[in-house]
Amino acid sequence: MRDLLQLSGKQRQFVELLQRQSTVDSLRSLCAQAGFDINFINGFLLSGALNGYVQWHEHNQQRWVLTAKGEELDGVLPGFDLAERLLQGNSDRATLQAELGTAFSLNYGALRREQAVDLVDGDGEGVVKVLKSSVLGAYQQRQVVFAAVRERSIATDQELADRAASSLEWLQQQGYITSRVESDYSLTVLPALQTLELGDRVTALSSELILSGQWRQVDLKPYDIHAEVPDVAYGRPTILTQCIQRIRDIFLNMGFDEMSGYLVESAFWNFDALFTPQDHPAREVQDTFYLANPQTLPLPEDQSLVDRVKQVHEANYGGQWTETEASRAILRAHTTTSTARRLHQLQGQDGKYFSIDRVFRNETVDRTHLAEFHQIEGVVVGELLSVRTLMGYLTYFYERLGFKNLKFKPTYNPYTEPSLEVFAYHPPSDRYIEVGNSGLFRQEMLEPLGCGDKSTVAWGLGLERIAMLLYDVEKLSDLIGPDIRL
């Protein structure tokens, strides 16, 4: 039995509440009425602190709650308002439409689906004929039960729940409510607690008590230096975090500087500055995540940059290049946006840069695709760079990771020419999988950014794909989430 004189303030308040009870039918109801957090009190009860003072019995209780669809109804079932008026004898269609307004169609459709009503031509615009009055009556009962669930009263009235079984079943079938099973406790307060005297106790030593000397007179809560300390397991880096650090070290040892960018970008930096035409399929919502708020982002302050990008687009692709399309806000589809910004800053200076950041694609998620993943970006700016230079950098990088079975395949990118896809062998699936894309930036992209007299090699590699190869993982989704068995 624990010394109840060493309880916290909240625990003491709950004990004082129990001392005024002999039995408690529902601990949940008691906590709700007295303003106690049920989870906190559950932990207090199950800790054993009240052993010898109370006896308790656990029982489960079914509770009905509204679903998100039910919350949207704002308390009234579709069909109820029309059913009420029809049961009162009001069947004139014009009158009902005037009273219900735009809700008439919704109400009529709900009743019509159960074949309870029909529209019949008559004087004027006709009448709403009742085919099944029993359905209209059922709607009244359903509304009563729906309101009770909304007010959270049905869970404590088992008789009502039994009477309303058919209504509850219908509401659940419509997706308006769902059931939950919650644990509850009934308590019996023993005489040992009812006769226990709890004096005023100070649980926090303040500066006022110390300076005034009152700490000598008050009853201070003792500090238990022998209390058990929870065994907290230390964290460790995830596989992806380990891969990021390993790859970062490789690039830093190769003489690269690290760069970073923004998760939310304008289409200008994500597409237009990369010589991607404004009617390119990759700019469709099926491939790119566009933001609703904000819908647009400002274009670069350097108006000459915007003008040069516009000129090169219209000269090569034809049509009219618009700032409206370029200013749309998106979740970046690749980290090449960071490269474009860095090239504009360099204005033709040599350099080697890399980044490892998150990107977003509107992909169908499968074994080798995710909608959110990391991309390893790299760019080298210099003189007389070639495809051999590019393949040399990538081969050296992958060899440092332990991969020797690489393949390069020609491909097309709007902003690189020539372009190469990189494939590496994946033992679990016994095939080569694509791990990245690369190429030499086109002059049409470099000139507006101020690097027209330079040659560049660049790549974008998939971090998760590399991790699949390193750890023989079958699916990309195994690398993310709470499963830490890897």
Question: Taking the chain (486 residues) in consecutive chunks of 10 residues, what is each chunk's mean pLDDT?
Answer: 60 82 85 85 82 83 83 88 88 87 88 88 75 88 87 57 78 87 83 74 80 82 79 80 92 92 92 88 84 91 91 88 91 92 91 93 75 90 91 91 87 90 81 87 92 90 85 77 64
189: left (phi over 0), alpha (psi -120 to 50) or beta: beta
Q: Specify the pTM.
A: 0.51
User: Could you tell me whether strands 351-360 and 257-258 are parallel, antiparallel, or unpaired per DSSP bridges?
Assistant: parallel
For 378, phi and psi rounded to 5 degrees?
Answer: -145, 145
- Are 299 and 270 in contact by the 8 Å Cβ rule? The answer is no
CA dist., res. 456 & res. 470, Å (int)? 29
**Residue closest to 389 by CA, chosen among 439, 341, 346:** 439
Separation in Å, CA 235 to CA 238, 344, 352, 481, 486: 9, 41, 34, 15, 14
Residue 163: what pLDDT?
A: 66
Residue 6: what pLDDT?
A: 61
Residue 483: what pLDDT?
A: 66
Residue 439: what pLDDT?
A: 93
**Residue closest to 380 by CA, chosen among 349, 421, 413:** 349
Handedness of CA 152, 155, 157, 161 (dihedral sign): positive
Residue 1: what pLDDT?
A: 40
Residue 26: what pLDDT?
A: 84
CA dist., res. 69 & res. 177, Å (int)? 8
Residue 486: what pLDDT?
A: 60
Residue 41: what pLDDT?
A: 85
- Are 8 and 53 in contact by the 8 Å Cβ rule? The answer is no
Residue 201: what pLDDT?
A: 66
Residue 339: what pLDDT?
A: 93
Residue 2: what pLDDT?
A: 47
**Residue closest to 422 by CA, chosen among 365, 477, 469:** 469
CA dist., res. 88 & res. 96, Å (int)? 12
For 78, phi and psi rounded to 5 degrees?
Answer: -60, 125
Residue 448: what pLDDT?
A: 92
By three-state DSSP, how is residue 152 classified? coil
Radius of gyration of the chain from its Cα atoms, rounded to whole angstroms: 35
| Euclidean distance between the first and the last CA atom of the chain, given in angstroms as a whole number | 43
What are the contacts of 286-295 at 24+ separation with CB within 8 A? 286/362, 287/333, 287/361, 287/362, 288/330, 288/331, 288/333, 288/361, 288/362, 289/330, 289/331, 289/360, 289/361, 289/362, 290/328, 290/329, 290/330, 291/264, 291/329, 291/330, 291/331, 294/329, 295/328, 295/329
Q: Apex CA 391: angle with CA 390 and CA 396, to 5°? A: 105
For residue 419, give both structure tokens.
């372009």
Residue 250: what pLDDT?
A: 94
**Residue closest to 416 by CA, chosen among 306, 274, 266, 259:** 274
Q: Apex CA 248: angle with CA 247 and CA 249, to 5°? A: 90
Q: Which helix (H) or strand (E) holds 409?
A: strand 406-413
